Amino acid sequence: MPYKDPGKYRPPRRHIALVNRAVARLASMGLTPKNTVSLEVPGRRSGRVRRTSVVVAELEGCRYLVSLAGESEWVRNVRANGNRASLRRRRLLPVHLVEVPVGDRPQVLKAYLSKRAYSKSPEFEAREFFGVSPNATLDQLAEIADRYPVFRIEMG
């Protein structure tokens, strides 16, 4: 079921959360597809480093992160940490994540859907998370863009 409430976070099912943690660990060791990395950011309440696996989308020479879960925990933690985080794929890379305005998100969502995430096809992600066809137009993606935070990755 896609996320229909733009401000509502739908936590992952328990087994999905476990798989995500395992994939984040594999990504940090470089054992996942190249576009899957471990995002590391301090928890906004605990201060403990939280890790989640994310897929990096590329568009016109820039790299982006898309939150499939909408206003997810990692999005809230990144914002609370001044948009600073780290990406890990064998090495730790400190990054600054710049939130993309809603009007610019459809192109990034389209680029994201053209990539294959770890063990999931673009078709699955289009239907399961976005509630759109895998061949969704930019206009269709614009209709849902406000529900999915997107961040441009900048070094340091």
Alpha-carbon distance of 11 to 132, in angstroms, equals: 20
**Domain count along the chain:** 1
CA dihedral sign of residues 65, 34, 156, 50: positive
Output the pLDDT for position 1: 43
The reply to whether 72 falls in a domain is: yes
The reply to whether 63 falls in a domain is: yes
Range of the domain at 127: 14-155
pLDDT digits (tens, 9 = 90+) for 80-119: 999 999 999 989 999 999 999 999 999 999 998 876 544 4
User: Does 82 or 26 have the greater pLDDT score?
Assistant: 82
The reply to whether 6 falls in a domain is: no
Output the pLDDT for position 28: 80
Output the pLDDT for position 113: 85
Average pLDDT value for residue range 18-38: 80
The reply to whether 69 falls in a domain is: yes
Q: Confidence band (pLDDT; 50, 70, 90) for 31?
A: confident
> Which CATH number covers residue 57?
2.30.110.10
pLDDT digits (tens, 9 = 90+) for 49-68: 999 988 899 999 999 999 98
- Where do the DSSP E strands lie in 21-149? 36-42, 49-59, 62-66, 84-89, 91-99
The reply to whether 2 falls in a domain is: no
Alpha-carbon distance of 88 to 10, in angstroms, equals: 25
